[in-house]
Chains A and B, each alone.
Chain A
Amino acid sequence: MILRIRRLAVAALILAGTRVGMGADKCFECHTAIADKPSTQFAHDIHHRAGVTCAGCHGGDATTDDPEKAMNKEGNFIGVPKGDVISARCAACHADSVRMAGYHVVLPANQFALLKESVHGQKSISGKERIVQCTTCHGAHGIVPVRDPASPVSPLKIVATCSSCHSNATYMRAYNPALPVDQREKYRTSVHGMKNARGDAKVAECVSCHGTHGILPVKDVRSKVFPVNLPSTCANCHSNAAYMKPYGIPTDQYEKFTRSVHGIALLKKNDLGAPACNSCHGNHGAAPPDIESVSKVCGICHSLNADLFAASPHKQAFDERHLPECETCHGNHDIEPATSTLLGVSSDAVCSRCHTPTDNPQGYSAAQVMRLQIDSLELSEQRAQALVAQAEQEGMEISEAKYRLRDIHQARLEARTTVHAFNAPRFATAVDKGLVVSASVAIEAQGALDEYIFRRIGLGISTLIISILAASLYLYIRRIEKR
């Protein structure tokens, strides 16, 4: 029995030993007595409340009140941890899930590993230590849970914490001179920033988009804000109907975007030139573009279309009616490929939404004619393509005509762009250019097909002649050999 009790006691001691620095904290008692700042802050620290002693981070012996023994440098006392030792001390517990379970805390055990892989862990300039240690964001002696509003990494304080470095141009220059330092200023003008400033802890702040311990450079394909990942990052909140309910805005933007021409280009074709959410809304200064600025936003990429529209008669008409310029015809999140069907007065066209035969017969008829013109160009392009394909199928050398199919396609794109000028003669000129090229390509391809038939006929005739010659020769040989 005594033996069993002894064994249990030993086991209890071993278990107790796994909880670093637990038990009497003589360091804290003495330092509290002299009321120094670290001990004052540590009194509210979550670690102190959990029973972690000063020795947990500083080493030494917290069970003795003899300073010589407690801070014996020949023992394990390390004083104030410096550089990477800071994070290593934190990781001694936080990267050990078994040890953390002893504190009844469910925290991921990979924070340190993520930090080491992150941009903050990689971009050292000294080569000796990481830019950011755990204490850089979480503080040292007064660490409180993230959800505590007093925490420097709580939603309402994180922006200030991040910007303490990221808004410091002098500091940032040493690591990445190309990185802007106005993120906080922009954020304050964003819808997210304004709500955050008013105390809304639900809106997006730095870590909502960039992540926490494992922040990666924007150009890293694994980053949450890499173009192809960004829409789903935004959708984490914006597609969550319950989360977004208090804000009264739609939650179908992501679903619409994935179906749009931009979404397909970005998410399915991995075209990094295609716009993500931030391309139109901004990133740190994210806000919906207003009616006036829609065309400016679209015009960043579609500059020619925007210029043509700005000089067109529609510009004034749209402004007078407070219509957003591009969005009125093309939509916003669910923009479909701009085919010719948008033009004209059919049920799927957009012109007839405003131009009715009664209210605006001139515009109605112009839209009708323009649609006929672009349709005829499309048809002639299809015909030229079919003829070239047929000639190629027949083994004819038609590479020059095939190359010129691109010119027709280019002319059609030009014509479709010229639509935005809403100028019938100019549009007709652009269409005619394509029609001329497609006619000449069709003639060339048809010529190749005619040549194909000519070759077959020619072969038939020559084969016949040669065969007759051969047969005659055969008969002649037989005749002379019979002699």
Chain B
Amino acid sequence: MQRAWQRLYAWLDERLQLANLVEFMGKKYVPVHRHSIWYYFGGVSLFLFLIQVVTGILLLLYYKGSEQLAFESIQFISSKVSFGWLIRSIHSWSANLFILAVLVHMFSVFFERSYRAPRELTWMTGMVMFFLALGFGFSGYLLPWNELAFFATKVGTDIAGVIPVVGKPLMIFLRGGEDVTGATLSRFFGFHVAVLPGIFTVALGIHLLLVQRQGMSEPLHVAALPANGRKTMPFFPNFLLRDLLLWLIVLNLLAILAVFFPWELGKKADLFASAPSGIRPEWYFLFMFQTLKFIPARIGFIDGEVLGVFVFSLAGLLWLLIPFWDRRSARGERNRALSYAGLCAVMYIIAFTILGWVL
């Protein structure tokens, strides 16, 4: 058996010069320290994204992106297509786990200050992918064309509409008209399967290239150690195999979730029905949704919702540009105030997500 593998490797090596690649990867080392665990969430995010791509392509074989047929096609996929239920359920569950993994990855990078020079572009491409992931979630949520998704999209695009000057045109662009209709579904479908994946692939390529070129970032306290005091492990095969191990565990988790908690389809959207109770966006938008609900209708002379959207936009911009204004970390100094601010942000997101779920 082992001989057969060796023969196959030799055959491939002769044609692809695999030895060079293995030698290159063998020279790559990953820092080992007490926070090394967070390195794996980038890989988990990548794995879940790949699952999204594969299951998404499979769903495309049967899904029909029109007002009349979208809901029925998902019904068909779930009930008639062989393993269609599994593919759909995995697609839905991995979408949510993907956002979760990306969030963990993003905050771990933040707390480890891994965005500091020379990794500003890695952070920014990561942030672009995070925003695109939210876009994937928002556009994909509408595609089954069910009641909850329909009204959540209505509320979500309404919020976009309150942005001064650009809000209204943006809302009309997103909806394909004044209201959420079949036209909205068509363009959300287009965004979900063509526009967003296209941009995402480019950003992912740059992100991975930068990671490979620059290697893993070391936390400040590790970077401060002398060269002989730092522990490392080879990227290949050690780190890659550990990555694979985690991927297998995540795959197992996905299968269990998909079988025991199949993603519900709900009722078909009715454009003329009144909104049912309990309309809420996906969990990763809940903290913003709940905050906007708490903000008074008017604060001084400003509309409360406009102020909320403005504050969130500003926070997002600051977050995106953090490598450029966090000068202390760039100089290799500890920035406790920023860590506490990040901790407060995490606690706020968790608390408001729970509140949004409970209330």
Asked if B241 is at the interface (CB within 8 A of a chain A CB), the reply is: yes
Interface residues of B in 216-272 (CB under 8 A from A): 233, 237-238, 241-242, 244-245, 248-249, 251-252, 255-256, 259-262, 264-265
- Total number of B residues with any Cβ neighbor in A under 8 Å: 24
Is B262 touching A477 in the complex (CB atoms < 8 A)?
A: no
Is B238 touching A462 in the complex (CB atoms < 8 A)?
A: no
Asked if A247 is at the interface (CB within 8 A of a chain B CB), the reply is: no
Is A466 touching B241 in the complex (CB atoms < 8 A)?
A: no
Q: What distance in Å separates the Cβ of A448 from its nearest Cβ neighbour in chain B?
A: 8
Question: Which of A396, A458, A473 has the largest count of B CB atoms less than 10 A from its CB?
Answer: A473
Q: What distance in Å separates the Cβ of A402 from its nearest Cβ neighbour in chain B?
A: 11
Name B251's closest neighbour in chain A (CB-CB).
A466
CB-defined contacts of B244 to chain A, threshold 8 Å: 473
Interface Cβ pair total, 8 Å cutoff: 54
Q: What distance in Å separates the Cβ of B46 from its nearest Cβ neighbour in chain A?
A: 18
Interface residues of A in 88-130 (CB under 8 A from B): none
CB-defined contacts of A395 to chain B, threshold 8 Å: 261-262, 264
CB-defined contacts of A398 to chain B, threshold 8 Å: 79
Q: What distance in Å separates the Cβ of A483 from its nearest Cβ neighbour in chain B?
A: 10
Is A399 touching B238 in the complex (CB atoms < 8 A)?
A: no
Is A474 touching B259 in the complex (CB atoms < 8 A)?
A: no
Interface residues of A in 167-209 (CB under 8 A from B): none
Name A466's closest neighbour in chain B (CB-CB).
B252
Asked if B78 is at the interface (CB within 8 A of a chain A CB), the reply is: yes
CB-defined contacts of B249 to chain A, threshold 8 Å: 470
CB within 8 A of B79: which of A400, A456, A462?
A400
Is A473 touching B259 in the complex (CB atoms < 8 A)?
A: no
Q: What distance in Å separates the Cβ of A23 from its nearest Cβ neighbour in chain B?
A: 67
Instruction: Indicate whether A477 sits within 8 Å of B241 (C-beta atoms), given known contacts A397-B78, A470-B249.
Output: yes
A242-280: CB near B (< 8 Å → 1, else 0) gives 000000000000000000000000000000000000000
CB-defined contacts of B237 to chain A, threshold 8 Å: 480
Q: What distance in Å separates the Cβ of A74 from its nearest Cβ neighbour in chain B?
A: 62
Asked if A338 is at the interface (CB within 8 A of a chain B CB), the reply is: no
Asked if B189 is at the interface (CB within 8 A of a chain A CB), the reply is: no
Is A467 touching B242 in the complex (CB atoms < 8 A)?
A: no
How far apart are the CA atoms of A399 and B260 in the complex, in Å?
19
Is B248 touching A469 in the complex (CB atoms < 8 A)?
A: yes
- Total number of A residues with any Cβ neighbor in B under 8 Å: 23
CB-defined contacts of B248 to chain A, threshold 8 Å: 466, 469-470, 473
Asked if B85 is at the interface (CB within 8 A of a chain A CB), the reply is: yes
Is A397 touching B265 in the complex (CB atoms < 8 A)?
A: yes
How far apart are the CA atoms of A248 and B85 in the complex, in Å?
71
Is B259 touching A480 in the complex (CB atoms < 8 A)?
A: no
A462-483: CB near B (< 8 Å → 1, else 0) gives 1100110110011011001100
Asked if B290 is at the interface (CB within 8 A of a chain A CB), the reply is: no
Asked if A9 is at the interface (CB within 8 A of a chain B CB), the reply is: no
Asked if A455 is at the interface (CB within 8 A of a chain B CB), the reply is: yes
Asked if B75 is at the interface (CB within 8 A of a chain A CB), the reply is: yes
Is B85 touching A481 in the complex (CB atoms < 8 A)?
A: no
How far apart are the CA atoms of A3 and B250 in the complex, in Å?
108
Asked if A311 is at the interface (CB within 8 A of a chain B CB), the reply is: no
Asked if A459 is at the interface (CB within 8 A of a chain B CB), the reply is: yes
Instruction: Indicate whether A473 sits within 8 Å of B245 (C-beta atoms), given known contacts A398-B79, A480-B237, A481-B238.
Output: yes
Is B79 touching A477 in the complex (CB atoms < 8 A)?
A: no
Name B245's closest neighbour in chain A (CB-CB).
A473
How far apart are the CA atoms of A400 and B265 in the complex, in Å?
13
Give the interface of A toward B (CB within 8 A): 395-400, 448, 455-456, 458-459, 462-463, 466-467, 469-470, 473-474, 476-477, 480-481
Give the interface of B toward A (CB within 8 A): 75, 78-79, 85-86, 233, 237-238, 241-242, 244-245, 248-249, 251-252, 255-256, 259-262, 264-265
Report, nearest first, the 8 A-B pairs whose CB atoms are least far apart: A397-B78, A397-B79, A470-B248, A459-B259, A466-B252, A473-B245, A395-B262, A477-B241
